[in-house]
Amino acid sequence: MAELRTDDATLHFEVEGSGKPVTVFAHGLTNSCMELAAFTPMAPGTKVRFCFRGHGHSSTPEAGAYRYADLARDLDAIASETGASRAVGTSLGAGALARLIAGRPDRFERVVFVLPSILEGSIGISPVVERTAELLETLPREQAVEAILRESGRARTYEVNPGLRAFDLLMWQDMNPVGVARAIRETVRDVAVPDLDALGRVIAPALVIAREGDPIHPASVARRLGEVMQDVDVVVLDSESDFLASIPMLVDRVSRHLAGAV
């Protein structure tokens, strides 16, 4: 475990493995560097997992510092510190990655977007998202987490996939209520990439993974990336259950992509 101090945040990061390539993994909103911990051992070379500002063990800047430009700076700082030449972003992390390479198309040699959320417009503060932020701001952490998991519509999903509840609880065990609430309120109103066509300048091979029926991570976003990027492979699964059942295949696909294998 290590820390990197930037101009306005102290970022927690962890390194595992050794050798080339060096890949940085950027997690999703409300999660932490633990999000992909079960999958990084299968990836080649050196893997770097970090917590965005306001998440996990990283510091909590004041409100107004949780836009995609700020998150892209976090990602860039960790990648520079560790010499990462490849990047994987999931959900929020995919947005930060897109923001970074839209402005610096030669930043990475290979990139992976997993469940990219809306990139060209704001998600908007829906009642569910608003309620999540309110619970984090008003209840003790443990009570807030229980209420969020109970009210988020995940109950039916847990009945079908009981292991998901344990995974969600793991993601929230180091959750920073203040930082996550700030990140929720600011990122859902922000636009990750003002001009998605800017990603057309990226020549690094890209892999995009999405699934149908996800309102937060629409498959249309993955298809749009497939339209604008030069060298891109888009994988869209039919449903959440199909996505979960395909995780071993997806991990292998990501690992081979990062390694440069066909």
Does 218 sit behind a cis peptide bond, omega within 30 degrees of 0 on the bond before it? no
> Rounded to the nearest 5 degrees, what angle is found at the Cα of 202, between the Cα atoms of 200 and 203?
115
Does residue 156 register a pLDDT over 70?
no
The answer to the question of residue 29 being in a domain is yes
Q: Taking residues 38-46, what's their average pLDDT?
A: 90
The answer to the question of residue 142 being in a domain is no
Q: Taking residues 42-56, what's their average pLDDT?
A: 96
Does residue 44 register a pLDDT over 70?
yes
The answer to the question of residue 149 being in a domain is no
Q: Which domain, by its residues, includes 201?
A: 2-122+192-259
The answer to the question of residue 205 being in a domain is yes
Does residue 78 register a pLDDT over 80?
yes
Does residue 240 register a pLDDT over 60?
yes
Res. 68 pLDDT band, cuts 50 70 90: very high
What's the pLDDT at 152?
59
Does residue 261 register a pLDDT over 60?
no
> Which of the residue ranges 2-6, 24-28, 152-156, 220-224 would you say has the lowest mean pLDDT?
152-156
What's the pLDDT at 212?
94
Res. 66 pLDDT band, cuts 50 70 90: very high
99-115 per-position pLDDT tens digit? 999 999 999 999 999 99
Quote the pTM value.
0.92
Does residue 167 register a pLDDT over 90?
no
Does residue 182 register a pLDDT over 90?
yes
What's the pLDDT at 166?
77
Q: Taking residues 156-164, what's their average pLDDT?
A: 72
Q: Which residues of 222-251 are buried (b: 16+ CB within 10 A; e: fewer)?
A: bebbbebbeebebbbbeebeebbebeeebb
What's the pLDDT at 36?
86
Does residue 183 register a pLDDT over 70?
yes
Q: Which range, 33-47, 69-83, 129-143, 161-175, is most confident?
A: 69-83
The answer to the question of residue 163 being in a domain is no
Q: Taking residues 222-232, what's their average pLDDT?
A: 96
The answer to the question of residue 151 being in a domain is no
What's the pLDDT at 262?
38
Res. 128 pLDDT band, cuts 50 70 90: confident
Q: What CATH number should be reported for the domain holding residue 23?
A: 3.40.50.1820
Residue 165: both structure tokens together: 């509840």
Number of domain units in the chain = 1
Does residue 193 register a pLDDT over 80?
yes
The answer to the question of residue 8 being in a domain is yes
What's the pLDDT at 67?
97
Sequence-ordered alpha helix ranges (H) in 83-154: 92-103, 127-138, 141-151
Percent of the chain at pLDDT exceeding 90 = 70
Q: How far is CA 44 from the centre of its chain?
A: 19
Matching residue, tokens 């065990």? 173
Q: Taking residues 9-29, what's their average pLDDT?
A: 96
The answer to the question of residue 170 being in a domain is no
Radius of gyration, alpha carbons of the chain: 17
Residue 147: both structure tokens together: 């209420």
